[in-house]
Chains A and B, each alone.
Chain A
Amino acid sequence: MRLVNMLAQVDAEKCTGCKTCVKVCPTLAIQIVDRKAVIDSEKCRSCNNCQQRCPVYAITMVKREKPFKVYVDPATEDRTKIDELCAKAKFNPEQIICYCTETRAEEIAAAILKGYDTPEKISLHTGVRTGCKVECIQPVLRLLEAAGITPERPDGWQWYGRTPTVWDIPEDVKAKYSKRGFYFDNDIELLNKVAQTKKSGKEDN
């Protein structure tokens, strides 16, 4: 669940049209029109990325008059399919995959089942990747991959690609480093246990 309470606003006087903001916006809410950045207020999820990276400080965050929430309710999609997707991506459906919005793997799975087939669409509808903008890209890519989807990269720096997981680490690499304090196999055991454990049982709300 993401409460969207702020909105990015461009000072057209200051904007140089450099496109940095366009390249970092996780929901593709910015376009350059007549060499100035223009923000689609419907699509802005108040993540601050553009305001934090604009080289000339042309963007400010302002309070929205009407804050709103974005959320995909897992109860609106087939439970078995949600569980299958999460299991394939090696997540427990209830596992939190975005710490800022407390979004759980099952919500992303439900969003994918609704047809949101890119990280950008998923962010727009669930709010993931709009808090810290850093930590939750891999779970999103892993869940898309589990659904057999290879999303097309946007023409910016939003994300580059799926990276290795602990299950992918070659045995020789594990053997080389495990005596130095990296507990690869124990972590695999723990993550498998989490993924396979039954849900806590609380109804969706």
Chain B
Amino acid sequence: MGKPITPMKPRVSQYGVAPEFVTKRMAEYPEMTSVMLKDLFADTPEVIYPSEKGLDAVREAAEKALANVDMSMIKPGDSVNVCASHHGFTLLGGEPYALLLKTVRDIIAERTGTDNIRLRAGVGLRFRETEEYIKAFGLDKHYKGRAKGVAPVDEGIPIETEIGTLYGIKAIYDADWIVHVHNSDVREVHFHRQVDRAVKPFGMSYARIETRSTYHQNLGPRAANFTARAIFGSEFVQNKFAFAAFLDMSPAGVVGVDADNDLLALNDRLTVNGCKYYGKIITLFGEIDECIAGLDFPCPVPYVFAAGVIYCNFAGANVDLFDLDNPLPPYTWYTEAFYGKNGRPLVGDVPVVNPAIKMVVHNYAWGGYPSAFFSSHVPTIVVGREQADLINRDPQNIEYVKHSVIADDLDSAMEFAYKTAKTDKVIIFDGAVGGLNVSESLAQLLIEKAPQVNKRVDVELMPKWLKQRGIDPATVK
């Protein structure tokens, strides 16, 4: 246990309150401490970032990984779209991903002689979010004015796939070649279930609304990510796809950069690493018996991070999200859809939202993602009238504050939470790097439970998870 880790700074964004309204962070309380991932799990991988070398380590790793990639198909004068997604910018402050995007551009220009290289950055449900990142990280300048954010409501293009017609965003594909620059952070395991995770943006941030709706409404909770595979496997995309470059992530930071002309080979490598690196911490979160959860990070409610795990996966940590024998996570859109008018599930397969979460203190988290499910299932206190007003104006969250109480400030929210939730265990989703900020009482529980979780994942769960994904555990080191 150590001093709390500095939380990720609030960000200026149209989707959250202005940083000046975030007057106090949850990690500032004297009862808070931090636990490092290395102290929980000895096999936590070494990271290149954050490290003493700083961002240079990311550039070096990117250059090394890209050296092995074939770019000979790109001829001088060819147009290239470097495709990015908002998610990468939410990792470790966003600089490592922005630098990877800059390095990819530099190396394509140097090796192929073309200068017609554009950045096309897709989004989740906040249509100007990557526009904000493009400006904040100087990507427009680096891409010589050819950088733009694209949204799923922009002009589309039909793509013929093995299962029928799906639709992509036209601006993603309006070049001779596309380069897929992403990261291996597991993040939405409740959606993709760590199946073809590396391919997901083809069915999501690069896709039109028709395709994204197919993913979340037409296919089902364990077939959903096939939408992405179907698009990626189409002749149309295969004819344009040049290569992929990924930040290889662990909950502790950037492990390296992986690049390949074969996205599916890269996907297999990342599937194993994702199960291993994230499987342990998510399983450990499932051991928490009771707590107050603090949301304190510049992202929408489900996407705030603690130890590399997003809050909505903590809301589902009472179920093994990697185990494909479990049809529905406690939170995913199919699950949300299956609650009837009386507030009870329509079928018995719907697991309850993690009962360990006794109360949520929403100190700082954005709108721009339908989040009423969370405030209607877990008692929630929103800190600050400005924040509540902002959420009430958000078309995706008309009902969120209705299910919450509002506190004037963090002190009164915490006082109320301790009294009402009757627990002194607190977990803070504030993006602390290398570990997580928690109350001392919760730190003790995590340290106590980690060894048996470690063993269970290595011996019992990892082999099962890999087999379910068609990977022979014997081939994995």
Q: Given the complex of chains A and B, what is the CA–CA distance between A197 and B338 in angstroms?
A: 11
Q: Contact: B127 with A53, CB < 8 Å?
A: yes
Among residues of A, the one whose C-beta sits closest to the C-beta of B227 is A163
Q: Given the complex of chains A and B, what is the CA–CA distance between A24 and B127 in angstroms?
A: 12
Contact of A160 among B167, B219, B342 (CB under 8 A): B167
Binary CB contact string for chain A from 133 to 172 against chain B (1 if under 8 A, 0 otherwise): 1111111001000000000000001011111111011100
Q: Which residues of A contact B163 (CB under 8 A)?
A: 164, 168-170, 173
Q: Which residues of B contact A53 (CB under 8 A)?
A: 127, 151, 153-154
User: Known contacts A97-B217, A164-B214, A182-B195: does B333 contact A135 (CB below 8 Å)?
Assistant: yes
B208: Cβ under 8 A from any A Cβ: yes
Q: Contact: B338 with A194, CB < 8 Å?
A: yes
Q: Contact: A95 with B153, CB < 8 Å?
A: no
Binary CB contact string for chain A from 1 to 40 against chain B (1 if under 8 A, 0 otherwise): 0110110000000000000000110000000000000000
Residue tally, chain A, CB below 8 Å to B: 68
A142 → B minimal CB distance (Å): 8
Q: Contact: A5 with B392, CB < 8 Å?
A: yes
Contact of A201 among B127, B338, B342 (CB under 8 A): B342
Q: Contact: B393 with A94, CB < 8 Å?
A: no
Q: Contact: A163 with B164, CB < 8 Å?
A: yes
A-B pairs under 8 A by CB, number? 204
Q: Contact: B393 with A61, CB < 8 Å?
A: yes
A117 → B minimal CB distance (Å): 19
B96 → A minimal CB distance (Å): 27
Q: Which residues of A contact B143 (CB under 8 A)?
A: none
B214 → A minimal CB distance (Å): 4
Among residues of A, the one whose C-beta sits closest to the C-beta of B155 is A157
212-231 of chain B: CB within 8 A of chain A: 212-214, 216-223, 225-226, 229
Among residues of A, the one whose C-beta sits closest to the C-beta of B156 is A160
B377: Cβ under 8 A from any A Cβ: no
Q: Which residues of B contact A142 (CB under 8 A)?
A: 218
Among residues of A, the one whose C-beta sits closest to the C-beta of B268 is A180
Binary CB contact string for chain A from 63 to 86 against chain B (1 if under 8 A, 0 otherwise): 100000000000000000000000
Q: Contact: B470 with A101, CB < 8 Å?
A: no
Q: Which residues of A contact B229 (CB under 8 A)?
A: 177, 182
A74 → B minimal CB distance (Å): 10
A88: Cβ under 8 A from any B Cβ: no
Among residues of B, the one whose C-beta sits closest to the C-beta of A183 is B222
A58: Cβ under 8 A from any B Cβ: no
Binary CB contact string for chain B from 162 to 186 against chain A (1 if under 8 A, 0 otherwise): 1111110000000000000000000
169-205 of chain A: CB within 8 A of chain B: 169-170, 173, 177, 179-184, 186-188, 190-191, 193-194, 197, 199-202, 204
A69 → B minimal CB distance (Å): 10
Among residues of A, the one whose C-beta sits closest to the C-beta of B192 is A181
Q: Which residues of B contact A132 (CB under 8 A)?
A: 125, 369-370, 395-396
B473: Cβ under 8 A from any A Cβ: no
Contact of B341 among A163, A164, A182, A202 (CB under 8 A): A202
Binary CB contact string for chain A from 90 to 130 against chain B (1 if under 8 A, 0 otherwise): 00101111011110100000000000000000000000001
Contact of B393 among A6, A194, A200 (CB under 8 A): A6
Contact of B342 among A47, A180, A202 (CB under 8 A): A202
Among residues of A, the one whose C-beta sits closest to the C-beta of B212 is A134
Among residues of A, the one whose C-beta sits closest to the C-beta of B466 is A181
Q: Contact: B333 with A190, CB < 8 Å?
A: no
Q: Given the complex of chains A and B, what is the CA–CA distance between A49 and B214 in angstroms?
A: 20
Q: Contact: A52 with B156, CB < 8 Å?
A: no
Q: Contact: B167 with A200, CB < 8 Å?
A: no
A187 → B minimal CB distance (Å): 3
B372: Cβ under 8 A from any A Cβ: yes
B324 → A minimal CB distance (Å): 6
A151 → B minimal CB distance (Å): 14
Q: Contact: A136 with B396, CB < 8 Å?
A: no
A135-B216, A197-B347 known, 15 other contacts, Cβ within 8 Å? A2-B398, A23-B155, A95-B346, A96-B339, A100-B372, A101-B398, A130-B395, A131-B398, A136-B217, A142-B218, A161-B210, A169-B223, A173-B163, A181-B195, A182-B195
Chain B residues engaging chain A, CB cutoff 8 angstroms: 125, 127-128, 151-156, 158, 162-167, 193-196, 208-214, 216-223, 225-226, 229, 324, 327-328, 333, 336-342, 344, 346-347, 349, 369-370, 372-373, 392-393, 395-399, 468-470
- The 14 listed contacts between A and B (C-beta, < 8 Å) are A94-B340, A99-B372, A100-B395, A135-B212, A136-B217, A157-B154, A161-B158, A165-B219, A180-B470, A183-B327, A186-B220, A193-B347, A193-B349, A200-B340
